[in-house]
Amino acid sequence: MTFRLLGAAAALLLLSACSNYQYKSFVGNLDDPALRVLDLSDGVADAPVIYFETMQYRDLGIPFHRLLLAVRVDGQPLPYAGKYSILDYFGYQAIRLTPGSHSLEWCWVSMNKLGTGGGKCGFGAPDLRLEAGKHYLATWSSSTAMIGVSGSEQMQISVTSYVLDRDTKKQVYP
């Protein structure tokens, strides 16, 4: 009986390993045709687009979705964008803007299929120069550490965010 239960548990684990978790309706891949681009370019031909990184992965069998969400452009909040609670964020995964200098702000969000997670806002580029016809990528690097004393440790995630030219992968900010 024990082997049968272990076999069933292993089969469920393998089946669940094939699924991806997406936070709300945000895409898990920036090349997904369902990605919606917020157009703030006023119809400018060859307007640059800045994408905000998204990734899906598993840790200890739990599906995660980590992503950046744009919340402000040139000091103005984007429609409905921001942090509403520790588990409720909204923003944009791609924005089309006019060429030239812009200030951008975004949030880093990490959610998992168990319904836990969180995020941090306040990342940004206060003076990002965007060129016509170019594609950019706001992305991040992170490190994780356990802090506290044994028995009451907490996981601390440090995030550094920056902007790349999406085609050349060259860092353009900071």
Q: Which of 97-111, 134-148, 150-164 has the highest mean pLDDT?
A: 97-111
Write down the pLDDT at residue 89.
98
Checking if the pLDDT of 70 tops 90, the result is yes
Say whether pTM exceeds 0.95: no
Has residue 154 got a pLDDT over 60? yes
Alpha-carbon Rg for the chain, nearest whole angstrom, is: 19
Predicted confidence band of residue 152 (pLDDT cuts 50, 70, 90): confident
User: How many CB atoms neighbour CB 86 within 10 A?
Assistant: 10
Q: How far is CA 145 from CA 78, 101, 139, 150, in A?
A: 33, 36, 20, 13
Q: What is the pLDDT, as a whole number, of residue 15?
A: 43
Which pLDDT band, with edges at 50, 70 and 90, does 144 fall under? confident
Q: Which residue has the higher pLDDT, 6 or 59?
A: 59
User: What mean pLDDT is predicted for residues 92-120?
Assistant: 97
Mean pLDDT of the chain: 90
Confidence band of 28 (pLDDT split at 50, 70, 90): very high
Distance, in Å, from the CA atom of 148 to the CA atom of 160, rounded to the nearest integer, reads 22
Chain centroid to CA 33: 17
Segment 114-125 shows an average pLDDT of 95
| pLDDT of 127 over the 90 cut | yes
Cα separation, 83 vs 39, whole angstroms? 22
Residue 143 has pLDDT above 50, yes or no: yes
Confidence of residue 19 (pLDDT cuts 50, 70, 90): low
